[in-house]
Amino acid sequence: MKSGRLLLIPAFLLSACASKNDLNYVQGQVSELKQESRVIKEQSAGSYSEITQYREEIAALRGKIDELRHNYEISMRRTDMEDSLLVKKTDTLESRIARIEQSLAVDASGGGDSQTPKLVPSAPGSAAPGTGTDVLTGQLKGQSPVKAPVPQFASATDEALLNEGLVRMKKQDFTGARESFKAFMNANPKSPKVADAQFYMAESYFNEKWYEKAIIIYDEVFRRYTKNAKRPAARYKQGLSFEKLGDKANARTCYKDVVNLYPKSPEAKLAQKNLDKK
């Protein structure tokens, strides 16, 4: 019996050693799991913080998008309203110009009682006093356009015609200045400086305080010669002409055209000053 008990002791010791090793192994695994769990928690905390930040940024972006959308809708409504008003003002402007043209045509034919001065014929002897003439060219109504006789300019160069007209205008010889400009236009219908000559004609009427005629010719320069450098000046001076006649609504329409179409031009600054006036 004693020998049997002695044999059980080593077996028990071996079993105890095996259990201790297993326990140590398990404890090591648990420690590793705890460490991994701690790392995962830290990473999760960082990820959660980043996700929270992303969510806040997305929410801020959505707020900005909503604000931009709202502002865009307001801007579009305002633009639509301004376009509608601009169309209405343009129609009013064109209607006023048409009435001025009609009035001047009646005056030129001797059928009106207006006190506006009548257009002087472009060449001496070309028409009797009171004969109907076109408000822009001075041609006799009912006849085919012909070149005005300009014997005094026969040997002059094209530049000299324009310069002569400007010199005459400085001397306040507005009728003579227009004769020079018309002579240039008749002799050089395809020249790019035809627009300049027509602008100077409008200037002669403006300086003569014949604002109705100036309005019509300024409008011709603005509408026909879309690439000419004098286009902003023509629209601005057209606005001044309307203002001189007491038509502030059409004057403001002209000023706004200058500011919107030619914001960097010197005339835009002048037009803005007039718009800022109360």
What's residue 237's pLDDT?
A: 96
The pair of three-digit structure tokens given for residue 183, joined into one six-digit string: 């002579």
Q: What is the pLDDT of residues 243-263, one digit of tens each?
A: 999 999 999 999 999 999 999
Is the residue at 75 inside a domain? no
Task: For residue 179, tell me if it sits in a domain.
Answer: yes
Q: What whole-number percentage of the chain has pLDDT above 90?
A: 37
- Locate 269 and state its tokens: 């600054």
User: Using an 8 Å Cβ cutoff, are 94 and 118 in contact?
Assistant: no
Task: Encode pLDDT of 21-49 as tens digits.
Answer: 777 777 788 888 888 877 887 777 777 77
Decide if 140 contacts 132 (C-beta within 8 A).
yes
Measure the CA–CA gap between 190 and 18, rounded to whole angstroms: 114
Look at residue 79 and tell me if it is in a domain.
no
The pLDDT of residue 17:
60
Can you give the residue range of the structural domain that contains 215? 91-276
Residue 61 predicted with pLDDT over 70: yes
Indicate the number of domains in the chain: 1
What's the pLDDT band for 129 if we cut at 50, 70, 90? Answer: very low
Rounded distance between C-alpha atoms, residue 204 and residue 188, angstroms: 20
Residue 257 domain flag: yes
For residue 70, is pLDDT > 70? no
Closest C-alpha to 250, from 102, 135, 98, 105: 98
Which secondary-structure segment (H or E) carries 51?
Answer: helix 2-108
| pLDDT reading at 88 higher than 60 | no
Q: What is the pTM of this model?
A: 0.51
- Residue 23's CB is within 10 A of a number of other CB atoms, namely 10
What is the rounded distance in angstroms from the CA atom of residue 214 to the CA atom of residue 241? 7
CATH number at residue 168: 1.25.40.10
- Decide if 156 is inside a domain: yes
